[in-house]
Structures are given as structure tokens and as C-alpha cells.
Structure 1
Amino acid sequence: MSAEKDIDITNAPDQVPPAEAFATTEKSWMYKPIRIGPWTGPWFASPEFQLVLVSFVCFMCPGMFNALNGLGAGGQIDPHDVDNANTALYSTFAVVGFFAGSIANRIGLKLTLSLGGVGYFLYAASLLSYNHNQNVGFLIFAGALLGICAGLLWCAQGAVMMSYPLESQKGTFIAVFWVIFNLGGVIGSLVPLGQNLHSTAGQVSDGTYIGFMVLMAFGFILAWGLSDSKYIKRKDGSRVITMKHPTWFSEIKGLFETLRTDLYIVWLFPMFLASNWFTTYHFNSVNGAYFNIRTRSLNNLLYWVCQMIGAFVFGMLLDLKYLSRPTRAKLNLFLLFALTMGIWGGGYSFQTTYTRASIHDATKTDFDDSNYIGPMFLYMFYGFYDAAFQTCAYWFMGALTNNGRKLANFAGFYKGIQSAGGAITWRMDANNIEFIPQLGICWGLLAGSLLIASPVIFLKIKEHVNIEDDLKFSDASFNEVAPTVLAGDRHDEKQP
């Protein structure tokens, strides 16, 4: 039964395909709402449930990794070997991430996410090992393996977050994910804070790494609970645009087809590159260089709390009901640019107060010191900005298409290019590049990338995405596309 025959796309997004179109994929238990007492929740194969599940996988795996890395130097005294491990991590992440969309479309999001969770546990284990034997080889190998795994995990996450919701819910979905994911950073930050609250040393304890390993193992197990995309049903009865049985050849061809049919995405590449460029500077050049271990742990906690706030604020702004979608896109681009100039301008003022040479033998700042409050608030604003920038980047991509296959490629481009930037910045830090040039490159790249992306934001984001254009994507004919409709806005919602 072909999609072209069964679905009249001219009335999309308001037309729901007939129920018999999905008869081969229905599993009734997946569509029974979860009931706990008087509360009725979403069904298992709903976008909402799947988003929360993916969010908690990221809570346990990359959330804990972020909390660990946010300590500066992975909790070690000397950042050099950890910098090299992170260079290996982001180098493999960049390569795998760029092609991860093709892998995810071929093997499915469930297997992609599950494979992606493996490397986080091993990375924490390598830091625990390094605490005792300084095994640099194991540390760098674990970093490289984590890059491969992270490329897969983040591609699956991006595809779920951007392709599963209705158009009117995309900002909310991104915000919910980012809040839950960064809650992992918050909870993860409590582990080293509790372990090191009374320590003024520069290195975290074994118990910190063991705590992270346990949480990461839970995340890997949880990843196997994800449903396949073909079973997902939204509240209005619509499905996710996906492929039935793509081949490896069609997927690699589809990757480059994305660049041909959607060449405008190249204008977002500088934004992708900038989106994690500043992470090394935040974690090592500010938190790791300026503060002692217990203060780094506290800063780490505040950083991830502000990430949650930033994601929530911008997620809500991006879904404002009384503004058109193009207006919301332009408004948030302007706000992001204003934050870039304000926060990083304040960062420049702070950075002029110390250098690598001056901080090397100096006593690290403690949260009991009188000069702590100003840098604390700056670091909190850095966390807020990180979430705001990435929330907007994901929303901009999600506003350009609703095609799950295309969005998997977009997510792959995003994480691959983002990670290439990460590899460069961790290597720069390992080579002891001075702090002021690091900050200047971060600031200039962020502001410049927003200006370069502005033509796409102003001209390509429309009130709704044309479903016919989405279905025509790639070398696939309509007969290859699973029966589906656009993630549109319906008012006559139907319960399954």
C-alpha cells in the first residue's frame, strides 16, 4: 500500500491517514495511556513519553559527563592529559557525528541510542584508573571511543526531539529535554560537591568517579526502552515522516542529497561550530583555572541550574502562541545576539584580571573569599547562555523541516561540526593558548555565526512546512516513505 495512493497530501497537515494504513505496525499496548490513580499520562509510543525517556538517558550519560567535565580537567589537577583525551573524543565525535544521521536512518533510533550509551561508563572508568596509575593510553582510548558513541547518541536524541512533536510544540519539547538533561548535570554536580565540600585540593576522590559510573550504567540500560519511530503516534493521530527500509547506499546518497536540496543549511554551519566552542574555555580557562576544587564543584552546580533556566525561558519564548513562527524566530535571534554581546563583554572584563602565568602559582579562589560573587554570577550567565544558544539552534533546525530522516541528517551535521570545534578548542587548551585569545575567538565566532545564520532565519522559516516538500526529500519515491502526515497543528485531537 503506497503512501502516494493512500494519503492526499494536498490537505496536510490537517489530514490524518486511515487507521488501516498502520495495521502492520500497531501494538495495542503501546497506545494505552499510562494511569496512576486519578492521573492519566501519555501512552508509551507517544512523542511525550519517548522524549522524557530520551531525556533521562541523556540525564544519566552525557549529563553526568558534563558534570564531570565541568569540574575542569575532569577533576584532575593537571589538565594536559584530559585535554588530549577530549581532543580524541571530539575528533571521533566530529567524524561519526557527521554521518550519524545515515547510521540512525539505517539501523533505527533505538539501536543508535543504545549503542551511544556505551562509551560514557568507560570514560569515567578511565579517569578512575588515571587517578591511580596515570594510564594515559587508556584515557585517550576511552575518549576516542566515547566520541564514536556520543555521535550516535546525540544524533538519535536530536531526531526524536525535533521530528516527534507538533510544529507548535517544538520549543516546548526542546525546553523539556534541556531541563531534564541538565538536571543530570545538577545532580551529577552534587556528587563531587558532597565528596569535596571540605577539600581544598585540586583533584576529586575515587568515590566521585564511582558515583558517576553507576549513574552512567543506568542510562545505558534505560536506552534500550526506546520505541522504534514507526510506532510513534501523536495526539492528532499523525505519524513521523520516516523511511521503511533504507539501504546504506540510499542513506549515504541521502546525506549528500540533503546538502543539495537544502543548501541553506550550510549557512548554519558556523552556528553549529560555535555551539560548543566555548565549553573548553568555560570549564578549564575559567572554572578550572581560577577556583579550587570545592568552589569548582559549586560553580558546576550553579552552571547547570542556569542551563535549565535558560532552556526553559527560550523554549517558552520560541513557542509563544500569539506571535507567528517567523516573528518568534527573528525575536529570539535578536535576543541571542544581545546576550552574546552583553555576557561575553562582561567575560572579557573579568578575563583581563588574570593570565596563565599569573594563575599558575596563585592561591585558587574559594567561595568564602570576598572576590567570589562577581565571577560566580558571570559563570552562571555562561551556563544560561549555553542553553539559550543550543535551544535556539535546535529550534531553528526543527522549524525548517518535519522530516525525521532529514532531521537526523541535520542533527548529524550539527553534532559533527560542533564536535570538530570541540576537538580544536581542547587541543588549543592542551597547547596552553593564552586565555584572552581563547575568549576573543569564542566571542567573535558566536556573534559572527548569528549574523551569517540570519538570512536563513529571516527567509526560510515559515509559519508551516509544506508536507509535499518534506515527502519529496531524497532519492526515495513516495512509495518508499512510511504513511505519515506532517507534524501540524490540529484542534480536533484524537486519542488512540
Structure 2
Amino acid sequence: MGFEGDEESLSTQQLPAKSMFRYNSPFVQVSLIGLVCFCCPGMFNALSGMGGGGQVDPTAANNANTALYTTFAVFGVLGGGIYNILGPRLTLVTGCSTYILYAGSFLYYNHKERQEFAIVAGAFLGVGAGLLWAAQGAIMTSYPPIHRKGTYISLFWSIFNMGGVIGGLIPFILNYNRAEAASVNDGTYIGFMAFMSAGTLLSLSILPPSKVVRDDGTRCTNIKYSNVKTEALEILFLFLNWKMLLIVPAALASNFFYTYQFNNVNGVMFNLRTRGFNNVFYWGAQMLGSVGIGYIMDFSFQSRRMRGFVGIGVVALLGTAIWAGGLASQLGYSRGDKPEKLDFKDSGADFAGPFVLYFSYGLLDAMFQSMVYWVIGALANDSEILSRYAGFYKGVQSAGAAAAWQADAHGLSFIGQLILNWGLTTVGIPLLGVLVMLAVNDDNKAEEETTKEAALTPATPAYK
């Protein structure tokens, strides 16, 4: 089954080549995948960001997330190949549906307090998330014009993280008058499930890359199909690809910190309603961070390589400052000596410092991940290749996340988790600089060599 074989033919109407609001334009398609992720992983992020999945005891969430990221590590790597075989619609609708199951498992836990369902749902979500994020990575990095990938990454990241903002408002509003409550109410989980269901349906609106037309009239790719043997070999070759190996430390770091930030900063330092309040700003900060780094990566200098170096340098400096602030805060409490829960209304000035720190963590997350995606997008321009690269990145990222959730479940000290996070980030950033120096060209020559000739075939006509 290929990109063309399982897609319905669309009625056509000739439109001006430069209309960015065409249904088959990169702008509209990247916006649509942003909305899909707004509804599914965006709501998942809001659920996770409450610490412990909104439960007083984080054990079930830790174990569910371990199962999730273990299967995600496998299907993240395989996801690019699956995407190349099934195409975007079937890949995305399969992936999105597993988010509904996961949120439903915590609704069940609210009543039965049995974690088996949550763990199984987490494992299924790992499979689905691997498919969704491989497809998302291919769409976000291959559909846009070569010189505006940073802008489109920030567009996606802003729409996607608006899901976390809205998702943070759900538990905040529904639990506002439950300042002393330990777990969120049923309506919170039902609200998440409603958004996730909408995202699953919306994923059917995504076009295959062969039907997406850039403003200059070129298609993203003209690939008709792939097959299991080809994808299996290409995925194996990724583990020997020096470019991918240089990304490994950054990939490991890029989701490792969520466990610490959600469970041991937001979950430990703040009460239930304040955690929802904080998440509105955590994911809002991600929108700001993605726009800022997107501008640097696309517009700061004429030289693309120089833009890469500057972006990496900015993230390195900001990351050092934020993690240093985190260390200063962490020295004030530990797993055995937890602080009194802070409330955004009642704690006064004591609330300000931890809140700004948590906001800054969100800002850094978006800048770091957008930077990595920009580097990946600069390595090629073809959907088939970039789906594999994105899948590899998400697979390694998820392996790190699985380790992080289990480290917390087994009682690794808070300070130990912070040092691990800071260390992984510090190792990963300079290796990205090496990758930019060796593999990113200003004239796009290397990129074009990896792009199939068919991808440059003029497109006629445009789809409305």
C-alpha cells in the first residue's frame, strides 16, 4: 500500500501557485498536523504535566509511562518505515486512536485504582505515538520550503502546544474549587478524551506528500509506494548512519526531563489546581520558545550553517542558565523532605520563583526540540528519508524517556535526576554543532543530493 493507493482522489481546481491557503499547500498541511497534535499529544502533555496523571500516587502513571516509552522506542524507529508503506492518513488515524484509550484508562483508575489497564493502555499508546510522531516529523520537515523549515517548525510547535495550554485549563477550571483534592475529577479525563477523539477524525484530512504542492509548483515527493523489505533495510542502516549517531545524545535528553519536571517539580511543589494553572504557562512558554528559535534558525543570518550555529549557541546558553536555576531550587527540598504545597492564590511571593522556573523549563523544551528538528530537516528534503530520520529521533528519545520514568519509579533522588538531565543536554548540544558543521551546507547541495529527482517534478493542477 502506498501514498497514492489508499488516498481518495480529490476534485481539482486550478489556483494561483502562490496561494498559501490552498488545501494542498505546506502551510495548510503543517497547520493541520499541528491541530491533530493539539488534540492528541497536546492533551496527553497536559495530562502528564499534572504529575502522576492527575493522581495522588504517581506509581500507576510512572509504570504506564514506562510501558508507553518502551514500545514507543521500538515503534518510533519503525514508524518511519510504516509511514512510508501506509501513507499519512492510515498511520495517523491508527496512532491518534491510542491516545483516547490511554486517557480512558485513568478515568477507569479514578474508580477502581487498578493500574493494569493503565499500563496496557500505555503500551498501546507507545505503538500509536511512534506512528503519529514519525508521520508528524516527516510532514513538518519535508513539506515546507527549504529555507523556511524553522518557521514551519515554530508554526507546528505553537499550534501543538496550544493543546497543552487548553489542556491545562481543563483541570484548572474543573478542579478550581478543589484546592485540597488529591486526584482530578472524571470530567477532566472525559474532556481530554473528547479532544483526542476530534484529533483522530481530523487526521483524515492530511494529504500524502505527493499531493502537497509548494508555492514554486514543486511537489514534496513523487514516491508512489514503498515496501517492507526496503524499509526494514533502511531502518537498519540508520544505526550505522554517522549523522543519526551524532543526534543520539540530544534525542535521549529531549524527553528525559519530563519525568523530573512533571512529577518532581510541578507534582511535588504545587497543589492540584495550581498544577493545572502552571501547565497553561508551561505550554504557553513553549509557543514563545518555538517562535523565537524558529526566527533565529531561518532569519538571523544569510548563511544557513551560521544560523544553525547561532541557534545552537543560544539554546546552550539559555539551557545552562535555566538548569543552574533548577539546581538552586532543588537544593531546597528532596524526596525525603518535600516542601509544603504551593497555591497560586494563597502562597504569595513564595509561589513566584518556582513558577518562573517551571515556565522556563517549558521555554527551553520547545527551543531545544525545535532546534533538533531544524537540524534533522537540514539533512534532507524528501519525505521518505525524513520520516525515517524523525522516527529514529523519536525512538531514541522514547528510550530515554522510558529510562527516566523508571528511574523515578525506583526512587532516584531528585538531585540525581536533575544532574542527569543537565548532563545529557550538555553532551548533546555540541554534537549537534558538529553535525551542522559537517552535514549542513549553505547552498543546499547536500540536501538536494538526498532528494529524489521526482520530488522536483512540476505539479499540476493544485488541489483546493
Q: Provide TM-score, normalisation by structure 1.
A: 0.87
Query: Which one of the candidate residues 321, 337, 341 is aligned to 1:364?
Result: 341
Which residue identity does 1:158 align to in structure 2? G
* Structure 1 residue 349 displacement after superposition: 0.2
Which residue identity does 1:265 align to in structure 2? M
* Structure 1 residue 168 displacement after superposition: 1.2
Q: Which residue of 2 aligns with 1:429?
A: 408
The answer to whether 1:191 aligns with 2:170 is: yes
The 3 A distance-change label for structure 1 pair 468 and 131 is closer
Which residue identity does 1:382 align to in structure 2? Y
C-alpha distance in structure 1 between counterparts of 2:122 and 2:230, whole Å: 31
* Structure 1 residue 420 displacement after superposition: 0.4
C-alpha distance in structure 2 between counterparts of 1:41 and 1:156, whole Å: 22
C-alpha distance in structure 2 between counterparts of 1:419 and 1:363, whole Å: 32
Q: Which residue of 2 aligns with 1:228?
A: 208
> 1:33, 1:44 within 8 Å by CA — same for their partners in 2?
no
Which residue identity does 1:231 align to in structure 2? K
* Structure 1 residue 31 displacement after superposition: 5.6
C-alpha distance in structure 2 between counterparts of 1:212 and 1:401, whole Å: 36
* Structure 1 residue 259 displacement after superposition: 4.7
Q: Which residue of 1 aligns with 2:64?
A: 85
The 3 A distance-change label for structure 1 pair 33 and 56 is farther
Which residue identity does 1:485 align to in structure 2? L
> 1:400, 1:465 within 8 Å by CA — same for their partners in 2?
no
The answer to whether 1:485 aligns with 2:456 is: yes
* Structure 1 residue 32 displacement after superposition: 4.3
> 1:348, 1:439 within 8 Å by CA — same for their partners in 2?
yes
Q: Which residue of 1 aligns with 2:198?
A: 218
Q: Which residue of 1 aligns with 2:12?
A: 29
The 3 A distance-change label for structure 1 pair 43 and 31 is farther
Q: Which residue of 2 aligns with 1:56?
A: 35
Q: Give the secondary structure class of the aligned counterpart of 1:276.
A: helix
Which residue identity does 1:364 align to in structure 2? K
> 2:254, 2:368 within 8 Å by CA — same for their partners in 1?
yes
Query: Which one of the candidate residues 391, 396, 421 is aligned to 1:442?
Result: 421
C-alpha distance in structure 2 between counterparts of 1:161 and 1:468, whole Å: 18
How do residues 320-335 of structure 1 correspond to structure 2 at under 5 angstroms?
Answer: 320=299, 322-335=301-314
* Structure 1 residue 33 displacement after superposition: 7.0
> 1:47, 1:232 within 8 Å by CA — same for their partners in 2?
yes
Which residue identity does 2:341 align to in structure 1? K
1:376-404 CA distance string (max 9 Å, x none): 10110000000000000000000111121
Q: Which residue of 1 aligns with 2:225?
A: 245
> 1:299, 1:380 within 8 Å by CA — same for their partners in 2?
yes
How do residues 3-152 of structure 1 correspond to structure 2 at under 5 angstroms?
Answer: 27-29=10-12, 32=15, 42-152=21-131
Which residue identity does 1:224 align to in structure 2? L
The 3 A distance-change label for structure 1 pair 33 and 63 is farther
1:316-349 CA distance string (max 9 Å, x none): 1111064310110000111111012100000000
Q: Give the secondary structure class of the aligned counterpart of 1:356.
A: coil
The 3 A distance-change label for structure 1 pair 438 and 484 is same
Which residue identity does 2:406 align to in structure 1? R
1:448-480 CA distance string (max 9 Å, x none): 111233211222111133365214xxxxxxxxx
C-alpha distance in structure 2 between counterparts of 1:329 and 1:31, whole Å: 37
May I ask how many residue pairs the two structures share in their alignment? Answer: 450
1:127-178 CA distance string (max 9 Å, x none): 0000000121111011000000000000000000000111111001000000
C-alpha distance in structure 2 between counterparts of 1:26 and 1:114, whole Å: 19
The 3 A distance-change label for structure 1 pair 31 and 340 is farther
C-alpha distance in structure 2 between counterparts of 1:349 and 1:468, whole Å: 47
> 1:397, 1:410 within 8 Å by CA — same for their partners in 2?
yes
Q: Give the secondary structure class of the aligned counterpart of 1:319.
A: helix
Query: Which one of the candidate residues 321, 324, 337 is aligned to 1:342?
Result: 321
Runs of 4+ in 1 over 6 A off after TM superposition: none
* Structure 1 residue 76 displacement after superposition: 0.3
> 1:90, 1:419 within 8 Å by CA — same for their partners in 2?
yes
The answer to whether 1:176 aligns with 2:155 is: yes
C-alpha distance in structure 2 between counterparts of 1:258 and 1:435, whole Å: 34
C-alpha distance in structure 2 between counterparts of 1:322 and 1:456, whole Å: 18
Which residue identity does 1:483 align to in structure 2? A
The 3 A distance-change label for structure 1 pair 26 and 293 is closer
The 3 A distance-change label for structure 1 pair 77 and 231 is same
Percent of aligned pairs sharing the same letter: 43
Structure 2 unaligned segments of length 5 or more: list them. Answer: 1-7
Q: Give the secondary structure class of the aligned counterpart of 2:214.
A: coil
* Structure 1 residue 375 displacement after superposition: 0.6
* Structure 1 residue 109 displacement after superposition: 1.7
- C-alpha RMSD of matched pairs (Å): 2.1
Q: Which residue of 2 aligns with 1:17?
A: none
After TM superposition, the structure 1 stretch with the greater mean CA deviation from structure 2, 154-163 or 367-376, is 367-376
The answer to whether 1:301 aligns with 2:297 is: no
C-alpha distance in structure 1 between counterparts of 2:206 and 2:13, whole Å: 12
Q: Give the secondary structure class of the aligned counterpart of 2:64.
A: helix
> 1:30, 1:45 within 8 Å by CA — same for their partners in 2?
no
The 3 A distance-change label for structure 1 pair 70 and 231 is same
After TM superposition, the structure 1 stretch with the greater mean CA deviation from structure 2, 272-281 or 109-118, is 109-118
The 3 A distance-change label for structure 1 pair 148 and 26 is closer
C-alpha distance in structure 1 between counterparts of 2:136 and 2:16, whole Å: 23
The 3 A distance-change label for structure 1 pair 258 and 242 is farther
* Structure 1 residue 275 displacement after superposition: 0.6
Q: Which residue of 2 aligns with 1:14?
A: none
The answer to whether 1:292 aligns with 2:263 is: no
The 3 A distance-change label for structure 1 pair 31 and 273 is farther
> 1:32, 1:44 within 8 Å by CA — same for their partners in 2?
no
Which residue identity does 1:188 align to in structure 2? G
C-alpha distance in structure 1 between counterparts of 2:176 and 2:457, whole Å: 51
C-alpha distance in structure 1 between counterparts of 2:243 and 2:161, whole Å: 30
